[in-house]
Copies of this chain bind each other. A is one copy, B any other.
Amino acid sequence: MAGSSIGNILKLTTWGESHGPALGAVLDGFPAGIELEESDIQVYLDRRKPGHTSIATPRKEADQVEILSGVFEGRTTGTPISLMIRNTSQHSQDYGNLADCYRPGHADYGFDAKFGFRDYRGGGRSSGRETAGRVAGGAIAAKLLRQMGIEIMAYTKSIGPVAIDPARFDKSLILTTPTAMPDAQADAEATEYLHRCMMEKDSSGGVIECRITGVPAGIGDPVFHKLDARFGQALLSIGAVKAVEIGDGTAVGGARGSQNNDPFALDGQGGIGKKTNHAGGILGGISDGSEIVLRAYVKPTASIFQEQDTVNRQGEAVKLTIKGRHDPVIVPRAVVVVESMCALTLLDAMLLNMSARAENVIDFYR
């Protein structure tokens, strides 16, 4: 089944394995005419890149993107934008002992059950490296969204027990702290916590929050293509995400309607706004003009260095010790993946929305 594409009229297809020659993406349906060069994409990829802090895998990947098609004289042409990233730092020998073993917390067993065998080097297709293609595509979507006044900002909300304090929120820190936390104190505590995890050959989970501003009301479609349903698919398609929330999220289960309902109100500029935003900017699957707020819950890195019980292909119980280079937490590098998936999802929905009203269709062709 062709499961490596997402989107309706803006479609991203990713390809590639962790230890193959390259990986990449094809972004099809992107509108023609915006300026685009590799550096627009590279800044996004660099945020995902491993190896530059004390809490990240020492695996060094250049993650240098090459635009192979879809751009002419510096502008997008409306045809597929093909993006390739060569794999350069492959220690395939680290994975020799994994060919036969099912690593706990990984997709190994499922892949074997499904396909009969698998590329076991670094997780192959199920590696987090696959998300490089998403980030490359997301960077392009985000560029157009910015030209439309839409900003997508994701950051680390918590790592293990350490959460940011909204009172200390400093957006400028997202790109500079090792944890991608917008709070220097939480960053320090989380870093400390991660060092402790590493000492104990363990790893930590965390939470990514994403805020999107500038989205007009009316984006998204009723029923199965609700905007939040689309965000849900997009975020849960990121390997380690085990829960997704919109607005108040799980808290709505304990809430009352009188608390949860956001009263509509005049915004003082001739428009309509809301007094609160428990809904996270989406009502009935359609944007309501407020800030869109999403959260993704990321499980701890499955590759830990403690000895683990598992089973091998031959159906024998074995002890497994994982080698290689693994982050103690996935969250900081996944922040830009969340941003990218949100950008792709939102732009697709906004392109689709252009034909919602017959009057707009008729006007367009007048």
Contact = CB atoms under 8 A, between A and B. Distances in A.
A304 interface: yes
Contacts of A118: 72, 77
Contacts of A279: 105, 242
Contact of A311 (B77, B272, B284): B272
Interface string A195-219: 0010010111111000000001111
Contact of A110 (B24, B29, B286, B310): B286
A324 interface: no
15 contacts: A15-B69, A16-B69, A16-B80, A33-B358, A76-B358, A80-B125, A84-B84, A105-B262, A111-B286, A229-B237, A232-B233, A243-B253, A244-B244, A259-B300, A265-B317
User: Which of A9, A29, A264, A265 counts the most B-chain CB atoms under 10 A from its CB?
Assistant: A264
B218 A110 contact: yes
A315 interface: yes
B22 A69 contact: yes
A286 B115 CA distance: 11
A108 to B, nearest CB: 8
Contacts of A216: 113, 365
A43 to B, nearest CB: 20
Interface string A102-127: 10111101110111111100001110
The 10 nearest A-B residue pairs measured at CB? A107-B284, A3-B225, A110-B286, A3-B221, A2-B29, A113-B218, A203-B257, A2-B11, A114-B218, A257-B300
Given A104-B262, A232-B235, 5 more contacts: A4-B26, A4-B223, A79-B124, A113-B218, A266-B311
Contacts of A178: none
A272 B82 contact: no
Contact of A249 (B114, B223, B297): B297
A258 interface: yes
A270 interface: yes
A301 interface: yes
A51 interface: no
Given A1-B353, A107-B283, A304-B261, A250 B297 contact: yes
Given A115-B32, A297-B253, A226 B236 contact: yes
A58 interface: no
B78 A357 contact: yes
A257 B249 CA distance: 24
Interface in A70-104: 70, 72, 75-82, 84, 102, 104
A329 to B, nearest CB: 9
A66 B207 CA distance: 39
Interface string A263-293: 1111000101001000110011111110000
A92 to B, nearest CB: 11
A39 interface: no
A57 interface: no
A315 B311 CA distance: 51
A233 B224 contact: yes
A104 B3 CA distance: 38
A269 to B, nearest CB: 11
Contacts of A249: 242-243, 250, 297
A187 interface: no
A114 B125 CA distance: 34
Contacts of A16: 68-69, 80, 82
